Structure 1
Amino acid sequence: MFGEDIGKGFVMGIPPYIIGGLAALPYYRESTSRRVSSYDRTGGNRDYLTIEPWETRVLADIEGTGIIRHIWCTIASDDRYYLRNIVLRMYWDGEPNPSVESPIGDFFGVGHGVAKHFISLPLTMTCDRGFNSYFPMPFSRRARIEVENQSDKPVRAFYYHIDYEVLPGLDENMLRFHAKWRRENPTEAKKYPPGVEGKNLTGEDNYLILEAYGRGKYVGCVISIYGLKPGWWGEGDEMIFVDGEKWPPSIHGTGTEDYIGAAWGFKFEFYGPYHGLPLKGNPDWTGASSMYRFHIEDPIYFRKSIRVTIEHGHANDRSDDWSSVAYWYQTEPHYEFTKLPPPELRRPRI
């Protein structure tokens, strides 16, 4: 399928270029390394793009077959809300609708228009300024990545690298990378009996992180919450409905901080390879918090559809400002995304 050489060195029957990472380092593969970047074509040191108000700039338009391995960028802007006003989009194989659409700050792992140092396996905001993605992003014919500055202020400098491999072919089972931002501001508090007496036996009023149709795997999310009143907002359970199943779903959690990999609330900010809380709000749980959970070792597979949801407070008893980015891989074509809200409806509270 891939030619004589590309099949050599399979690990447990899997091509090394699919495995990637440490396991693939000893293996040679017939690929060509390439980079698209903002370097100064004149040989000078103006190694950046400028982006005018409401302008769209194409960062990469790659023809052929390959896998994007790494994206890095850093941004200089006088717009206070640039991390929410710059929209990142990605298109695979000539599709008319994006497979990735998100405010750029949220995509790289922290919400609320905040740049905050953290390091995870797939995403980092190194020293608050260097944004990195290591999600592998395969394409068979074409990859197009663009940013739009939905602001009345220009972006003074946008530096970037996009590192990718050119390959002779892809396994037919390789899925395409997707990411989508959502916001519910505020969530609607349900009037159940107070405290633990409230019952949620449907999941219908949960906050929706992802709804997708097709065949694929859910690989994680960034969740950002702005507490609008004192009190712990983290008693909400994640409920993940696979292939049209009804309540109770086959994947049902026990609390928001449990889903993030912590316990008994969040004592302090932290970050790890697969889970973290880079941004913590006030001691009374008002203000801005942002967290992530990546299903790298435990992806959630679906054959027909998936709904990833989480309660906003126990039995949805809280009214707060929620936003999120979901990350997943799936077959194409995907269902067209709901329209991204305009900048004024994406604006953070801080």
Structure 2
Amino acid sequence: MRRLLLPALLAFAGPIFGQSTFNGVESNLSNLYRLSPARSRSISPENFNGAKGAGGKATTGMGAGAGRDLGQGWKISPCVTIKAGQTFTVAEIEGSGSIQHIWMTPTGNWRYSIIRFYWDDETTPSVEAPVGDFFGMGWGQYAPLQSLAVCVNPGSAFNCYWPMPFRKKCRITMQNIDTKDMILYYQVDYLETQVPSDAAYFHAQFRRVNPLPYKTNYTLVDSIQGKGQYVGTYLAIGVHNNGWWGEGEIKFYMDGDTEFPTICGTGTEDYFCGSYDFDTQQKMADGHTESRYTPFCTPYSGLPQVIEGDGHYSVSQRFGLYRWHITDPIRFEKGLRVTIQDLGWRADGRYLPLQDDMASTVFWYQTEPHAAFPKLPGKDALEVN
């Protein structure tokens, strides 16, 4: 009898794990009626270890004052405080299973809250990124983002739906590198279940260069070693020049490619599934027409964030873009390196290599062990100002 191990994977199972079915059963809306031996669990401040029958038992917590007349079971522990400079364990799960959904709404500076994931017994993280960038909000400001893998909802509700299988253990931490305390509301929904032998581990890596040196390609990732598939790119670009900034080509160097890549894009807006500078003609209130950037969100790609200068101290234009390779994962056998050009136009019609603020978080699945990540930039180098 076939078993439905991870029913909530939905459309992700086939593209990510390299098959149209997961353990012999399709994962989509058509099979949600199928029974499964998997057990649903959830970790939150109301149930720190996800134990069965242990939710809502707190008698102390940040809601104790508000619930003093109601007592146990009445939202006594809805959130936690992470002190300045401290690291908090969001979740620690023993055994095999898969994270299905994460929701959180962190206060404070999103670049100064570092989220990390550790699979099984590894000592270095497979995921390391500022929490804002991990959820597609690299500029510290809310913007609505609706996609299959990540959703950001009013007012600062971060959600991700990347399936994250593990075989022995999962540990998730949040480090507050700010000088101020932060408050974290969170929920980690997961399954206790067996994981198939061909399931790879989820990874995410953050990088930032500001400014990018002249005539230098921006490296999204260059240290992937092993077999797997690249499944997503989030890019936060702070533009330092006037004019259009998105002519650069993205390049995927696979399995020993050296000077030239196997996959080469045709432009930044093309890679993020847009066209012609993301411009549309918009009719203004006084009747005239302007060409403007147009934010958009789709299941697989989007430009959810367009921050325009105010003509005073906030003069820079800033953009946030995502591209999820859910139906078209970039598969590699031995390793992968990914770069993108920062390219605009000169006044005489020639290309202009730009020197913008480039920050990225990339997402992939691979076999373990993974190669060491570059050292995360320090607090000053992470700052958005």
2:112–2:177 Cα contact (<8 Å) kept: yes
Gaps of 5+ in 1: 191-204
Higher RCO, 1 or 2 (CA under 8 Å, sep at least 6)? Answer: 1
8 Å contact kept, 1:206–1:316: no
Judge conservation of contact 1:35–1:163 (CA < 8 Å) in 2: yes
Q: 2 CA distance for matches of 1:135 and 1:51?
A: 25
Q: How does 1:236-251 map to 2 (within 5 A)?
A: 236-251=248-263
1:23 Cα deviation from its structure 2 partner: 4.6
Partner of 1:334: 370
- Corresponding residue for 1:207? 218
* CA deviation profile, 1:114-161 (whole Å, cap 9, x unmatched): 221111110011114110010000000000001011011001x21111
AA paired with 1:68? I
Structure 2 residue aligned with 1:264? 276
Distance 1:288 1:13, change over 3 A: closer
**Cα 1:72–1:13 shift into 2, 3 Å:** closer
| Residue aligned with 1:326, SS | strand
Task: Please report the RMSD computed on the Cα atoms of aligned residues, expressed in angstroms.
Answer: 2.4
Number of corresponding residues: 326
Q: Cα distance, 1:26 vs. partner? A: 3.2
1:220 aligns with 2:227: no
Identity of aligned residues (%): 38
Alpha carbons of structure 1 residues 17 and 23: separation in structure 2 relative to 1, 3 Å:
farther
| Shift of residue 282, structure 1, vs aligned partner | 3.4
Deviation at 1:214, TM superposition (A): 0.6
Q: Does 1:235 align with 2:247?
A: yes
Q: Compare 65-74 and 314-323 and name the one that shifted more.
A: 314-323
Pick aligned residue for 1:68 from 99, 102, 122: 99
Residue 197 of structure 1 aligns with which residue? none
* Offset at residue 250 of structure 1 (A): 1.7
Structure-1 separation of matches of 2:365 and 2:25: 14
Asked if 1 retains the 8 angstrom alpha-carbon contact of 2:3 and 2:25, the reply is: no
| Closer/same/farther in 2, CA of residues 13 and 233 from structure 1, 3 Å limit | closer
Residues 189 and 13 from structure 1, CA distance in 2 versus in 1: closer, same or farther, beyond 3 angstroms? closer
Q: TM-score, normalised by structure 1?
A: 0.87
Once residues 168 and 86 of structure 2 are traced to their aligned partners in structure 1, the CA distance between those partners, rounded to angstroms, is 26
Match of 1:292 among 278, 297, 322: 322
Unaligned 5+ segments in structure 2 are 8-13, 47-55, 60-72, 280-293, 345-350
Shift of 1:229: 1.7
**Which secondary structure state, in structure 2, belongs to the residue aligned with residue 265 of structure 1?**
helix
Distance 1:71 1:262, change over 3 A: same
**Are 1:276 and 2:276 counterparts?**
no
SS at match of 2:232: strand
